[in-house]
C-alpha cells in the first residue's frame, strides 16, 4: 500500500469511492470544450447560430460591396 505521506489522494477502492469520484469529476472537465465548442442548452445553440449568421452576412455584404465597386469603377472609367 502506498505511503499516505507520499500519496495524499484517497485510497483506491473496489467500488465507487472518493478517489473514483474525484477522477470522474476531473475527467468530466476534460471534454471537447478545450478544442471544440460544446453547446449545453438551446440558448447557446441559438446564440451560436445567430453569431455565425451575422458573420456570413457581413462577409457577403463585403463581397457584394467589392463587386459593386468594381462595376462602378469600370462604368465610370468608360464614361469619363
What are the tens digits of pLDDT across the range 17-64? Answer: 777 777 776 666 555 555 566 667 788 888 888 988 988 888 888 888
User: Is the predicted pLDDT of residue 73 greater than 70, yes or no?
Assistant: yes
**Residue 44 shares a structural domain with residue 66:** yes
Q: How many domains does the chain have?
A: 2
Higher pLDDT, 74 or 3: 74
C-alpha–C-alpha distance, residues 34 and 23, integer Å:
18
| Closest alpha carbon to 37 in 19, 59, 52, 58 | 52
DSSP string covering 34-55: GTS----SHHHHHHHHHHHHHH
Are residue 23 and residue 45 in the same domain, yes or no?
A: no
Say if residue 41 is in the same domain as residue 70: yes
Question: With 80 as the cut, is the pLDDT of residue 16 above it?
Answer: no
The reported pLDDT for the residue numbered 2 is 54
Q: What is the extent of the structural domain holding 20?
A: 1-30
**Cβ count within 10 A of residue 12:** 13
Residue 36 confidence (pLDDT):
63
50 with 73, same domain: the answer is yes
Residues 43 and 72 in one domain: yes
Residues 41, 13 share a domain: no
Amino acid at each position: 500500500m502506498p505511503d499516505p505521506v507520499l500519496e495524499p489522494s484517497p485510497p483506491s477502492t473496489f467500488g465507487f469511492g472518493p478517489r473514483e469520484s474525484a477522477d470522474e469529476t476531473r475527467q468530466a472537465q476534460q471534454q471537447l470544450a478545450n478544442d471544440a465548442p460544446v453547446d449545453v442548452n438551446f440558448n447557446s445553440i441559438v446564440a451560436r447560430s445567430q453569431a455565425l449568421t451575422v458573420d456570413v452576412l457581413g462577409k457577403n455584404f463585403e463581397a457584394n460591396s467589392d463587386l459593386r465597386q468594381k462595376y462602378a469603377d469600370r462604368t465610370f472609367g468608360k464614361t469619363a
